[in-house]
Amino acid sequence: MPKATLTLPNNTEVTIEGELSDIKNLLDYYSKKELSTSKLPEAKEKYSIKKVSQISTGKINHMEIVNLAKNVDIAESIEREILDKSSQVDRALLPLYIVEKYMENKVELQTNDISIINANLGISMSAPNISRTLNGTASKYVNADKPKKKGRVQKYTINKKGIGYFNSIIAGSTNDNKA
């Protein structure tokens, strides 16, 4: 089924799946009008519109991180050991691990970025819960760019201990499959 992606003025990415003619009509409609979520035409049964992500900063491509998590060589282990389980520490560390291992740590993620990436992976975890986890239970696995202070936005990277912890989770899954 054909797909198209739009980026709205508020930086929300919208993916449209449906008949080619419907997608073309919708894209033509919006190329003539100013994009606004309040002006969306009523959806027909032939296609669906779903919100993919809310971009918080221009530098971070959340969908790139999501696609990496779904397509890397350890994707099956990630799904089995992190996405299918309920460990908040593991879920909070997943985007940080992907950025470190597959993107050479070129970006630092805020809790909102982690929440968006996890939502696109099918994990519901709010930014405040991620913040509590990263500053509590998972604090030994991450580095923050500045000291914790109420109201201050922190950016996180995973440290060596966190990489070792995450690798042990993935390795445990691989060993379970061989047994």
Same domain assignment for residues 91 and 123? yes
Same domain assignment for residues 82 and 120? yes
Return the H-helix or E-strand segment holding 50: strand 48-54
pLDDT in tens, 58-108: 468 888 888 888 888 888 988 899 888 889 999 999 999 999 988 877 788
Same domain assignment for residues 127 and 153? yes
90 burial class (0-12, 13-18, 19+ CB within 10 angstroms)? Answer: buried
Same domain assignment for residues 34 and 108? no
Containing domain of residue 156, as a range? Answer: 62-178
pLDDT in tens, 94-114: 999 999 988 877 788 988 999
Q: Which residues contact 58 (CB under 8 A, 6 or more apart)?
A: 11
